[in-house]
Amino acid sequence: MRSISKQKLTTISLLLGLSVTALLLGIYLPDVKWRNRTTNLLQGGASANTDVTTLTSLPIDQRQAKLEIISQSASEPLNKNRATYLLASDKLYKEPAKAIALLENLGNEYPEMSAYIDLKKAQAQEKLGDQAKTKKAWQDILQNHPKSAVKVNALYALGKSDPKYWQQAIDQFPAHPLSLKIIEEKLKKNPDQFKLWLTLAEYGSFLPNYNQILNQLTTKYANQLTPENWQTIAHGYWEKGEYGSAAIAYDQAPNTPENFYRQGRGLWLDGKVPESREVYKKLINTFPDDQEYTGLALIRLSRLSEKPQAIQYLDQVIAKYPQHTPQALFDKSKLLDKLKSTESASQTRKWLLDEFKDSEPAAELRWSLAEQAAQGKNYQAAWQWAQELTQHNPESDLAPRAAFWVGKWATELGQTADANKAFAYTVYNYPQSYYAWRSAQALGWPVGDFTTVRSLSPEVIPAIKRSPLPTGSATLQELYQLGQVQEAWQLWNMELPDRQNLTVAEQYTDGALHMERGDYLEGIWLLSSLKDREKSQDRDAYLKFKHSSPYWQVLYPFPYQDLILKWSQERNLNPVLVTALMRQESRFMPKIKSVVGATGLMQLMPETAKSSAQIIKLPKYDLENPNDNINLGTYYLGFTHDEYDDNSMLAVASYNAGPNAVSDWLKRFGFTDPDQFVEKIPYPETRGYVESVFENYWNYLRIYNPEVTKMLADHAKKYESAGQ
């Protein structure tokens, strides 16, 4: 299956308490425990002081008794208030009168949630069916909470019988999701309302039909749009990956260096190279002194030009734009090589390494030189270049790869001690990477390798408590901790100040709330793209998150656990590997489709699904149905494993590129070393796919498997105490 842009079970458990001897021998104890949050919580009872926030993932009927105990006898006021609120929320639909009784005096004791307590009271009154009391409860909210997000809930309810309230919601709280819902209802009745379409464009980027909203504005109302409106639309297209449409919109937006650059880049990505070239020239002429975007435009322009002209553009960068000089030097050296100017190319590379040794282009140069040396079997030189990269460019995306291959090339040279040092370095410094897993395996850790992963079923224990969000009001934090996802989402949309310029903390919070809503595609993108922030303050903020457990727990969720376990067992597959592949394929979105037609969680092509369904005798199926999709997807993943003698790397590569491609690569490259084979995969997409799937697999182990978590912690202590 092609992955999209923005996959008889041996019962093996990695248990805490394994002896050192067992660890060294790679022995696993047969006691599988794949736990979900519910399993964890049901294993024990509840006391008066049980933390309420650990119960929020339980089904309502399974947490009622626990919440009753805490609400009646907890000694800690906040925990007691939380239990009472959550218990009332649970009773709201089946026992609304009891919910009201529980909430009656709670507002005074739980002030940060007073508005939402009144909201629950109004909802309970609505369930009881007394229209007069219900109307009064909604009116009281308007009176008592005029600036709160819950006012929109009241306006929405009252507006069902009196339209003036709906208009008030739109006018006063346009960012609230319920206001946007009102707008959508209004547009169904009368679509010719320009201002309403514009409000959706400004605040509704999370709506599933957001692209259609932008299209409506640009096709029907183009002559009414101001440059600022075009800016909003352009940003919307850009964030959704519609780069050609974004370029058209940026052409009408205010003239800024960034807008010119995005217009040119969007045209290039849309295949309009001549037009892109002209926009870059316009940016250079209009803003010749802008260090960030003009220098970058010159580099982009050089890549769209013939070699002599390209070198002239790069020389302009070197002379005037120091921020981009390292990239210009690297690009220039490659052009000089193509022009057979060997000495000049060598001098340019030396300049880059001498003057900008800590830059990312210097890292790229070092890695290219390491690869060239390795291809010539000069492993000593390859090792030295890769080691130099890890020393001077430790934050480079290439650093984990280089650190691992320092170890591999040291092994080739017979220097086992140096190899183990390199592998230990990789695990310590880049624990989230695919190469940390390969290094851990090389060190003999019992984490599985390509030939054993299928048969494993590692113990996984997902987190049962949400960590605090990095930003947001006290009320937002409470709603989030209590698992009140819808209310938290509504409030956040009102608190979010500038959607086009999110801080790192705001982007993290936005991503976390998207994840809670089940929008894993957007959530994972928001969270993972934090690493691409370039400003120093943003980079520092991201690194704090990167080195914290909560960030990774949010980034690696466990949806559809029961279905994954069910069908993994049926197909003799490691359920963590299935989760890892699914995360890469679809970001856990059941209805998503790729540009080539692959559908659903495991991104099955229709013809593959059809043939698989015939084999397993599944006459009717729906690829957008999670159960059907995981059933068929795990069958096909099991089939690819069977084809390659349970080598999971080859199976995963085949899942992405197809069996014919993998068979061809095996004939061309042989299979003496799996790591070298991965490096030689000629499809960049497939090589990246293989590494991403197993990086996902490793991170699920690293975050949720108690034994691997302990081994990493012990390794860090040992590594630091040794002063390495």
Residue-wise pLDDT tens digits, 680-699: 999 999 999 999 999 999 99
For residue 11, what pLDDT is reported? Answer: 24
Q: Is the pLDDT of residue 45 over 80?
A: no
- Per-residue confidence band for 36, with pLDDT thresholds at 50, 70 and 90: low
**Average pLDDT value for residue range 108-117:** 96
Q: What is the pLDDT of residue 9?
A: 23
- For 372-405, letters b (16+ CB in 10 Å) and e give ebbeeeebebbbbbbbbbbebbeebebbbbbbbb
User: Strand, helix or coil at 50?
Assistant: coil
Task: Tally the C-alpha atoms within 13 A of residue 658's C-alpha that lie toward its C-beta.
Answer: 8
State how far the Cα of 474 lies from the Cα of 10, in Å rounded to an integer. Answer: 47
- What is the pTM (predicted TM-score) of this model? 0.91
User: Which of 477, 394, 400, 476 lies closest to 431, judged by CA?
Assistant: 400
Binned at pLDDT 50, 70 and 90, residue 534 comes out as confident
Neighbours of 616 (CB within 10 A): 13
219-244 tens-digit pLDDT: 999 999 999 999 999 999 999 999 99
pLDDT at 460 over 70: yes
Using the predicted structure, report yes or no on whether residue 150 has a pLDDT greater than 50: yes
The residues that bridge with 593 in the sheet, in sequence order, are 599
**DSSP helix/strand/coil, 604:** strand
How high is the pLDDT of residue 23? 26
pLDDT for res 536: 87
Residue 713: exposure state from Cβ atoms within 10 A (0-12, 13-18, ≥19): exposed
Token output for 558: 């466990």
Spatial separation of the C-alpha atoms in residues 108 and 188, rounded to whole Å: 42
- How far, in Å, CA of 222 to CA of 216, rounded? 9
**Which structure tokens are listed for 551?**
């960030």
Q: Where are the strands (E) in 344-426, listed by range?
A: none
Residue 211 CB-half CA count within 13 A:
11
CA gap 295, 90 in Å, rounded: 58
Per the DSSP assignment, residues forming a β-bridge with 75 are none
The token duo for 575 is 């359920």
What digits encode the pLDDT tens for the residues 157-175?
999 999 999 999 999 999 9
Alpha helices per DSSP H over 455-531? 474-481, 485-495, 504-516, 520-528
Looking at residue 220, the DSSP 8-state letter turns out to be: H
Mapped onto helix, strand or coil, the DSSP state of residue 177 is helix
Q: Is 71 exposed, middle or buried (0-12, 13-18, 19+ CB in 10 A)?
A: buried
Count of residues in the chain: 724
8 Å CB contact between 36 and 560:
no
271: three-class secondary structure by DSSP: coil
| Nearest-angstrom CA–CA distance, 266 and 508 | 26
- In this prediction, residues 662-687 reach a mean pLDDT of 96
Domains with residue ranges and CATH for the chain: 41-186 (1.25.40.10), 474-496+504-555 (no CATH), 561-721 (1.10.530.10)
The 10 Å Cβ neighbour count of residue 285 is: 9
E strands present in 101-176: none
Neighbours of 47 (CB within 10 A): 11
CB neighbourhood size of 214 (10 A): 26
Predicted confidence at residue 2, as pLDDT, reads 40
Residue 7 pLDDT exceeds 70: no
Query: Burial letters for 651-685: b for 16+ Cβ neighbours within 10 Å, e otherwise?
Result: bbbbbbbbbebbeebeeeeeeeeeeebbbebeeee
pLDDT value of residue 48 = 79
What mean pLDDT comes out for the span 416-436? 97
Would you say residue 192 has pLDDT above 70?
A: yes
Asked whether the predicted pLDDT for residue 16 surpasses 80, the reply is no
Query: Which residues partner with 29 through β-bridges?
Result: 13
pLDDT at 3: 37
Give dist(CA 447, CA 711) in Å, integer.
10
Cβ neighbour number for residue 570 with a 10 Å cutoff = 16
- Mean pLDDT confidence for 628-641: 98
Given pLDDT bands bounded at 50, 70 and 90, which one contains residue 436? very high
For the chain, the average pLDDT equals 92
* Three-state secondary structure of 644-681: CCCCHHHHHHHHHHCHHHHHHHHHHHCCCCHHHHHHHC
Q: How far is CA 265 from the centre of its chain?
A: 24
Residue 17 has pLDDT above 60, yes or no: no
Confidence of residue 597 (pLDDT cuts 50, 70, 90): very high
- For residue 401, which of 688, 712, 713 has the smallest C-alpha distance? 688
Q: Are 212 and 236 in contact (CB under 8 A)?
A: no
Identify the pLDDT of residue 282: 97
Residues near 412 by beta carbon (within 8 Å), at least 6 away in sequence: 379
pLDDT at site 550: 94
pLDDT of the residue at 129:
94
Say how far apart CA 691 and CA 434 lie, in whole Å: 6
Q: Are 90 and 56 in contact (CB under 8 A)?
A: no
- Beta strands (DSSP E) in 387-518 are none
Chain centroid to Cα 539, Å, comes to 17
Q: Give tens-digit pLDDT for 239-298.
A: 999 999 999 999 999 999 999 999 999 999 999 999 999 999 999 999 999 999 999 999
User: Percent of the chain at pLDDT above 70?
Assistant: 94
Question: C-alpha angle 507/510/512, rounded to 5°?
Answer: 110
Spatial contact of 539 and 533, defined as CB atoms under 8 Å apart: yes
C-alpha to C-alpha distance for 451 and 644, rounded to whole angstroms: 10
Comparing CA positions, the residue from 527, 531, 534 lying closest to residue 542 is 531
**pLDDT value of residue 251:** 98
Q: Is 271 left (phi over 0), alpha (psi -120 to 50) or beta?
A: left
pLDDT value at residue 347: 98
Amino acid at 232: T
Query: What type of residue sits at position 499?
Result: R
